[in-house]
Amino acid sequence: MTNPQVPISTIEAPRARGGFLLYASRYGTLVAFLALVALNIAITPNFLSMQTLTVNLTQVATIVIVATGMTLVIATGGIDLSVGSLMAIAGAIAPMIFMHPAWPAGMMPIAVTLAILVPVAVAAVLGLFNGMLITRYGIQPIIATLVLFIAGRGIAQVMTNGNLQVFRNDSFQFIAMGKIAGIPTQVILMMIIVVIAWAVTRYTVIGRQIIAVGGNERAARLAGLPVKRVKLYVYMISGALAGLAGLVVIARNSASDANLVGLGMELDAIAAVAVGGTLLAGGRANVIGTVLGAFVIQLVRYTLLANGVPDAAALIVKAGLIVFAVYLQQRADKS
């Protein structure tokens, strides 16, 4: 009673801090992105060149494509560890189709179309398989997708006998090497996918259902939402996008190596989602955040490599970045 100011200040202080954290978590990724760009302009030679932009965009494109699917999966409260292996499977199938000697000369466009559609469809079916394990048997997503994480790369290796498939096929490689209006095709592909996913999560019924399922599955079920179907969809989409990313990777490399395609991609995708501000507990889907998250991770790596820091050290910085981003979000969420 002697000092009426005290209670007011104790109320004010956490509110101000909460406000800061909220801003930091909401715009932190954007600020980090802009700061990284500014830093690079200042210290990295030739940063502001078309070539640097292209290198960064093409390197980030596959991560963004996979991470978009991962965002939807994580929004339902799940996780998909199998994406890297699905990329390897799709990457193994495509060259088998368009390199098959049975194709008559004039049928190449059909071969290439099939070489794009079939691998993506196979990856989607495998994603559906993940979803089945999760919805039908109630297996936790991390374990259900662990099955294909382990077996998937083996499937790709068995299909190719572990051999490197080298090819040169301009029409297939257009999905990575081609340019539309001066922009690399894979970047356009990435943008289309991001825009669709953003619109779906923002404006469609299924988008809201995904978020509702992740927010409170029990409540969603009681409210009559088709919880199982929603989950099947997201794992299928995640699988299909991983398959597409696998095709982009092999088209870019002019070669498919089942041992390497998509290796560690699940970590990059999850990291992009986490840095981008989607809560890993589910119930939120921030597609634009994921894109920014992927760009931040890519730029950090580029900054370090371009300035002579070894790749191994870049891993440590990436780790710190992930922890910091998640920590900020969680603090903001609590206040």
Partner 1 sequence: MNRLKRAFTFGSPAELARIGVILALLGLIIFGGLRYDNFLSAFNILSFLRYNSMFALIALGMTFVIITGGIDLSVGATAAMASVVAALLSGHHWAAGLGGGVLAGLAVGILNGFLVSRMRIQPFIATLATMLAASGTGLLLAGNQSVSVSYDTGFTAIGQDDFLGFPIAAWIAGLAYVVGWLVLEKRPVGRHILAIGDGEQTARMMGLNVERNLALVYAASGALAGLAGVILASQFGAGQPTEGVGWELFAIAAVVVGGTLLTGGSGSVGATLAGALLLGMVFNILNFENGLGWISLSAYWQSIIRGAFLLGVVILQARLQQRVKLS
* Smallest separation, CB 249 to partner 1 (Å): 19
Using the rule CB under 8 A, which residue among 149, 198, 235, 302 binds partner 1?
149
C-beta closer to partner 1: residue 49 or 163? 163
* Smallest separation, CB 260 to partner 1 (Å): 12
End-to-end CA distance of the chain: 28
Residues 210-269 touching partner 1, rule: CB under 8 A, are: 267
* Contact present, 261 and 88 (Cβ < 8 Å): yes
- State the angle between helix axes of 287-306 and 265-275 in degrees (0 to 180), rounded to the nearest 10: 110
Using the rule CB under 8 A, which residue among 274, 288, 291, 296 binds partner 1?
274
Instruction: Work out whether 139 is an interface residue with partner 1 (CB under 8 A).
Output: yes
* Contact present, 78 and 85 (Cβ < 8 Å): no
Instruction: Work out whether 70 is an interface residue with partner 1 (CB under 8 A).
Output: no
Extended strands (E) in the chain: 165-166, 179-180, 183-184, 255-256
Instruction: Work out whether 271 is an interface residue with partner 1 (CB under 8 A).
Output: yes
Q: What is the DSSP letter of 103?
A: S
* Contact present, 68 and 193 (Cβ < 8 Å): yes
Give the whole-angstrom CA distance, residue 17 versus residue 23. Answer: 10
Length reported for the chain: 335
Instruction: Work out whether 140 is an interface residue with partner 1 (CB under 8 A).
Output: yes
Instruction: Work out whether 310 is an interface residue with partner 1 (CB under 8 A).
Output: yes
Q: What's the token pair of residue 183?
A: 């922009």
* Smallest separation, CB 159 to partner 1 (Å): 9
Instruction: Work out whether 146 is an interface residue with partner 1 (CB under 8 A).
Output: yes
* Smallest separation, CB 319 to partner 1 (Å): 4
C-beta closer to partner 1: residue 89 or 197? 89
Instruction: Work out whether 79 is an interface residue with partner 1 (CB under 8 A).
Output: yes
Using the rule CB under 8 A, which residue among 8, 34, 107, 150 binds partner 1?
150
Residues 155-214 touching partner 1, rule: CB under 8 A, are: 155, 157-158, 161-162
Residues forming a β-bridge with 183: 180
Q: What's the token pair of residue 224?
A: 């009559």
C-beta closer to partner 1: residue 190 or 332? 332
Q: Report the candidate in 305, 98, 293, 295 with the shortest Cα–Cα distance to residue 187.
A: 295
Instruction: Work out whether 320 is an interface residue with partner 1 (CB under 8 A).
Output: yes
Helices (H), 44-107: 50-75, 83-98
* Smallest separation, CB 6 to partner 1 (Å): 29
C-beta closer to partner 1: residue 176 or 272? 272
Residues forming a β-bridge with 278: none
Give the whole-angstrom CA distance, residue 298 versus residue 296. Answer: 5
C-beta closer to partner 1: residue 172 or 302? 302
Beta pairing, strands 165-166 & 255-256? antiparallel
* Contact present, 293 and 271 (Cβ < 8 Å): yes
Binding site for partner 1 (CB under 8 A): 79, 133, 137-140, 142-144, 146-155, 157-158, 161-162, 267, 270-271, 274, 280-281, 310-316, 318-320, 322-323, 326-327, 330
